[in-house]
Amino acid sequence: MDFGYTPEQKALEQVAREFVSSVCPPERAKEWDEQGTLPPELFKGFADMEWLGIPFPVEAGGGGGGAIELAILAEELGRASLDVSMCFTGTIINSLCVFEHGTDAHRELLAQEAFDGKIRFAVSMSEPDSGSDVAALRTRAERDGGDFVLNGQKMWCTGAGLPGTQIVMYVRTGEGDKKHDGISAILVDPSSPGVEMHQTPTLARHILGTYELYLSDVRVPVDNLIGPLDGGWKVMLTNLELERAMMSGAYVGVAQATLDEMLAYSKQRTQFGRQIGNFQALAHRMAALQVDIDAARLLARRAAWMVSAGIPCSREAAMAKYKGSETYVAAARLGMQVLAGHGFSTESVMSFRWRESIVATISGGTSEIQLNGIARSMGLRSY
């Protein structure tokens, strides 16, 4: 399938595939996960390839690319692991948010420090009592002279503890008729006095890490406001479709890698004198999985194409996120069955795939939340 990619897009796909083979093959991604470290060569590699500036205008020092290039990279990096791909997607989406809604000084910071990987961005919406119900967030920012003063608790902030990270944090600055009103986006340096941060022990996502943040009288200059005061909800939604298209690409890449790995195993493992892949019980399930992966890929690429063409696609992006994430979970589960005892050994890459797949249908909006949106687009209320 080439989807009418330009020669440049095909070349990008090839280069990204070679990057994964040389810098972050799955075995290495697994080791990094086990060590719980973001290896410098990974993020520096993104910067050296000039991928961190891809979606920004050339005149701002970026690459002038768009959603299709980003989705290609997300898919290829997904062949290493979901965590590796999210390392790229997370910082791109939040850099875009700062670029589009920040000040000229923020844009300068991006050109000087973010495109070459000196700093990176994370996002913090979730709180202990506000997960799927994002707009119920309670962390507050009060204006005090030239500063905002932040108090509250945040959870699940991916990558917050990595060096050079700035957080786009959503906080309550006012009240309105709806809970979506009165939310603002503020750029927070997690090394600021008053921020206490703890890494949450998790099944996977250990390269980036996920963090809990306690904020006690944290002072942030008012210039760090990203977008209008009390207008944070719209800021949050700006790149949601692109984010979902990229995440869907990552799920497709990692699901395909998972299938390729079980297929290779099933062709060399023999039992009862036959390759196990030739037992119809397994052959059919792997064939059906390839159908699901191709369907997920088509949905992911449709979403990326619609974003790049400027066509609103919240329904299509939700479909791609839903199908891709569920397909990765199904692929990892089948992989464990095909590899059987060998998969259950924590030395296997498959055991790593299985551990990290679980989060696909949770982070970035659960499968149920995607289905709610799709159902609403069909005229159903779906609470």
List contacts with ligand FAD (CB under 6 A).
122-126, 131-132, 156-158, 202, 205, 210, 359, 362-363, 365-366, 368-369, 372, 383
Could you tell me the smallest distance in angstroms from the CB atom of residue 10 to ligand FAD? 32
Could you tell me the smallest distance in angstroms from the CB atom of residue 362 to ligand FAD? 5
If one counts every other C-beta atom within 10 angstroms of the C-beta of residue 47, the result is 16
Could you tell me the smallest distance in angstroms from the CB atom of residue 364 to ligand FAD? 6
Query: To which residue do tokens 């990892």 refer?
Result: 332
Q: Report long-range pairs for 171-176 (Cβ below 8 Å, ≥24 apart).
A: 171/137, 171/139, 171/140, 171/141, 171/232, 172/137, 172/138, 172/139, 172/140, 172/141, 173/140, 173/141, 173/142, 173/143, 173/148, 173/229, 173/230, 173/232, 174/229, 174/230, 176/230
User: Please, which residues have CB within 8 angstroms of residue 313's CB and are 6 or more apart in sequence?
Assistant: 241, 245, 302, 303, 306, 307
Could you tell me the smallest distance in angstroms from the CB atom of residue 131 to ligand FAD? 2
Q: Which is nearer to ligand FAD, 297 or 353 (CB)?
A: 353
| Residue 200 DSSP class | P
CA–CA separation, 133 vs 136, rounded Å? 6
Q: Name the residue whose CB lies closest to ligand FAD.
A: 131
CA–CA separation, 159 vs 156, rounded Å? 9
Could you tell me the smallest distance in angstroms from the CB atom of residue 170 to ligand FAD? 8
Q: Which is nearer to ligand FAD, 290 or 363 (CB)?
A: 363
Could you tell me the smallest distance in angstroms from the CB atom of residue 101 to ligand FAD? 17
Could you tell me the smallest distance in angstroms from the CB atom of residue 246 to ligand FAD? 14
Q: Strand pairing of 165-172 and 120-124? A: parallel
- Closest Cα partner for 355 from 338, 341, 343, 368? 343
Q: Which is nearer to ligand FAD, 184 or 210 (CB)?
A: 210
Q: Which is nearer to ligand FAD, 79 or 321 (CB)?
A: 321
Q: Which is nearer to ligand FAD, 72 or 317 (CB)?
A: 317
Q: Which is nearer to ligand FAD, 18 or 34 (CB)?
A: 34
CA–CA separation, 117 vs 31, rounded Å? 22
CA–CA separation, 84 vs 315, rounded Å? 26
Q: Which is nearer to ligand FAD, 201 or 273 (CB)?
A: 201
